[in-house]
Amino acid sequence: MTDAEMINHLWTHKTQDHPHLPDEAMLFERGEGIYVWNKEGRRFIDAFAGLAVVNVGHGRPEIAEAVRAQTSTLAYYPTTRQFSNRPAAELAAKLAQITPGDLKYSLFAVSGSEANERSIQIARHYWLKKGRPKKYKVIALQRGYHGATIGTLEVCGIPELFQPYEPLAWPGFVKSPAPYPLRDRAQGSDEQIVRRCADMLADAVRKEDPETVAAIILEPCLSSGGIIIPPLGWLERVRDICDELEVLMIADEVITGFGRTGKWFAVEHESVVPDLLSVAKGITSGYIPLSASIAHSRIADVFAGDSTEENVHPNTYCGHPVACAAALANIGIMEREGLIENSARMGERLQRAIEARVGGLPIVGEVRGRGLLMAVDFVDPQNKDQPLARDLVGSLNMRGWKRGVIPFARGSVLRLAPPLCIDSAQVDELASVICETIEELQDEVSRTRKDRVAV
């Protein structure tokens, strides 16, 4: 069977972001640091770290060795029915140490979607334990993304993702707008935008009746929705609303956790401590799938340590020892190499370089970023309130590819989230290529317009 015939069996084949490329060119075989090599042996800068996953970079022998050692010592033992295993316990203790505030108890799962499922389930069980059984609803944000299970699609705010499942929708999962300064500028200053969105969020909870609402779930930066970065002050307002209306705050840090935004966790930009923190991706940098819902002690402590009563149901691979060993090795690399600080420094350098060179182009609405989570948001130069046509923005994927860089352009937004081990020379190279692709697109847009005017 040829590679093309094999690839044809993958479902990925059914959605094409790069319709001009043969499937085999998109088959990747090797990675090292910020680079990946495809089947043809071409080297690319992995400018989105896979799916904003590979935080420590590709090809780390320390993680491979930790996986090998744990696999040969004890490849599997559950963390259910009071059993545990050493790497799971060590990792839970490590997470209690590196997360902010009193986030102390980890319930492990496999994917980011499941981490959010667990957070929502813990919230529900918490209110049952507190004797308030009517609290079950979860309020989320428009443009938010929390996973690909039916449960997490209930709290998804991206219409093309949740609409196919609307016939299955449960009542009581409403979505409120998130602050999106580029699009909300008409509403005033950052502070006014935050206040307005916070008021709408509080109203949404009140309208549902706080006595029926278990939690608000939100991403500190809305990643799949277009790397939307609400102004600082937003999370503090959400925390206030949760406290005032007695609902739990679930921070979904599946993408933003483990240094992506220049702090261990993005909530730390505002010194906010959520009740539940969902993490995945960067916890192992993708070497092995793993996720966790990390609970604040005031939540976890309502579940007695000696109870025999069932509460949140874990899955088979909860606390998988090999995945937890990979996570410990991964976090060790982050600490030893100062990757969190590097993310803050390199993110600033990347954003400054892109802003300086293309920030003033008519198609560029905004260059924004926090740490190494960055976006260029494009606007229609004739009508700057409107996004640039999505096929034009999408063409940046191919323009990058031709120059040996893999960014992620979709909707009106070009997204960048390279591995956190990127150095200054590599940042400069990445910025230069990305700017070239944007300048090329600008030329094409300007030329097309002139041609249209000439006709």
Ligand X SMILES: Cc1ncc(COP(=O)(O)O)c(C=O)c1O
- Residues at the site binding ligand X, with contacts judged by CB under 6 A: 51, 111-113, 116, 145-148, 219, 223-224, 252, 254-255, 280
Residues 331-335: contacts with CB within 8 Å, 24+ apart? 331/94, 331/98, 331/258, 331/283, 332/62, 333/56, 333/60, 333/62, 333/63, 334/55, 334/56, 334/258, 334/259, 334/420
Helices 321-337 and 339-358 pack at an angle, to 10 degrees, of 70
Cα 232 to chain centroid distance, Å, stands at 18
The helix/strand/coil state of 447 is helix
Residues 170-173: contacts with CB within 8 Å, 24+ apart? 172/136, 172/137, 172/138, 172/208, 172/212, 173/137, 173/138, 173/139, 173/140
C-beta of 157 vs 392, nearer to ligand X: 157
Which residue has the CB atom at the shortest distance from ligand X?
112
C-beta of 197 vs 217, nearer to ligand X: 217
The helix/strand/coil state of 277 is strand
CB of 114 to ligand X, least distance (A): 7
CB of 52 to ligand X, least distance (A): 7
CB of 189 to ligand X, least distance (A): 27
C-beta of 112 vs 365, nearer to ligand X: 112
CB of 408 to ligand X, least distance (A): 11
C-beta of 44 vs 145, nearer to ligand X: 145
C-beta of 70 vs 111, nearer to ligand X: 111
CB of 69 to ligand X, least distance (A): 25
Sign of CA dihedral 332, 101, 114, 46: negative
CB of 358 to ligand X, least distance (A): 26
C-beta of 64 vs 148, nearer to ligand X: 148
C-beta of 113 vs 285, nearer to ligand X: 113
CB of 282 to ligand X, least distance (A): 11
C-beta of 224 vs 343, nearer to ligand X: 224
Is 137 in contact with 213 (CB distance < 8 Å)? Answer: yes
Cα distance between residue 17 and residue 410, in whole Å: 9
* 3-state SS, one letter per residue, for 337-379: HCHHHHHHHHHHHHHHHHHHHHCCCCCEEEEEEECCEEEEEEE
C-beta of 327 vs 433, nearer to ligand X: 327
| DSSP state letter for 252 | E
Per-position DSSP letters for 79-145, written without gaps between them:
S-TT---HHHHHHHHHHHHHSSTTEEEEEEESSHHHHHHHHHHHHHHHHHHTT-TT--EEEEETT--
C-beta of 54 vs 255, nearer to ligand X: 255
Pairing of strands 137-141, 373-380: unpaired
Cα distance between residue 355 and residue 337, in whole Å: 28
- The single residue listed with the structure tokens 């479902």 is 11
CB of 11 to ligand X, least distance (A): 14
What are the structure tokens assigned to 226, written together?
């277009």
CB of 278 to ligand X, least distance (A): 7
C-beta of 198 vs 280, nearer to ligand X: 280
CB of 128 to ligand X, least distance (A): 25
CB of 111 to ligand X, least distance (A): 3
Per-position DSSP letters for 134-176, written without gaps between them:
T--EEEEETT----SSHHHHHT---HHHHGGGGGGPPTT--EE
